[in-house]
Amino acid sequence: MDKKRSLPPTYFLGAIVLMLVLHFILPIRQLIVAPWRWLALIPVVFGILIELVADRAFKQAQTTVKPFETSTVLVTAGVFRVTRNPMYLGMIFMLLGGWILLGSESSFLPIPMLAILLDRIFIRPEEAMLRETFGEQYDAYWRNTRRWI
């Protein structure tokens, strides 16, 4: 029996819930106050745009966007020239915007937690799979493109 794995959006939503819980139950102290909270729109919109552009690149290349599925094409153009993981980076930017909106010190904690989880659960296995599938082509891409930014 094949075990179902949780996908990255599940972890992203969990981080949002944890962020809200920490903000409302253990806020520690407020670091960002109004009207500065409106700055949250910048990383949120940027994160959404990165996600959409990366998703479109996968669809145009006619390869999978799902982790743990073997890619048929190594996408290295567009946003993938800047980061090997634009979709995960987009999630981090959206969480950063959520933190700015909430503004409490404790609500920042889920951001590095999600980055670490994404790295361990998804990025490292994906990179191993891409290296196995594309060999030297992926190695060259890996050497010339950062994991995050």
Domain segments of the chain: what residues?
Answer: 34-144
Q: What is the pLDDT of residue 122?
A: 96
Tell which residue, 62, 54, 68, has the closest CA to residue 7. Answer: 68
Q: What is the pLDDT of residue 74?
A: 97
Q: What is the pLDDT of residue 149?
A: 86
Q: What is the pLDDT of residue 3?
A: 61
- Note every long-range contact of 14-17, with CB atoms under 8 Å and residues 24 or more positions apart, other chains counting: 15/91, 15/95, 15/110, 15/111, 15/113, 15/114, 16/95, 16/98, 16/110
> Residues of 59-92 as b/e, b for ≥16 C-beta within 10 angstroms?
eebebeeebeeebeebbbeebbeebbbbbbbbbb
In the chain, the percentage of residues whose pLDDT exceeds 90 is 91
Rounded to two decimals, the pTM is 0.92
Residues of the chain with pLDDT under 70: 1-3
DSSP string, 21-36: HHHHH----B-S-TTG
Q: What is the pLDDT of residue 5?
A: 81
Query: How many C-beta atoms lie closer than 10 Å to residue 35's C-beta?
Result: 6
Q: For the segment 94-123, what is each residue's pLDDT rounded down to a tens digit?
A: 999 999 999 999 999 999 999 999 999 999
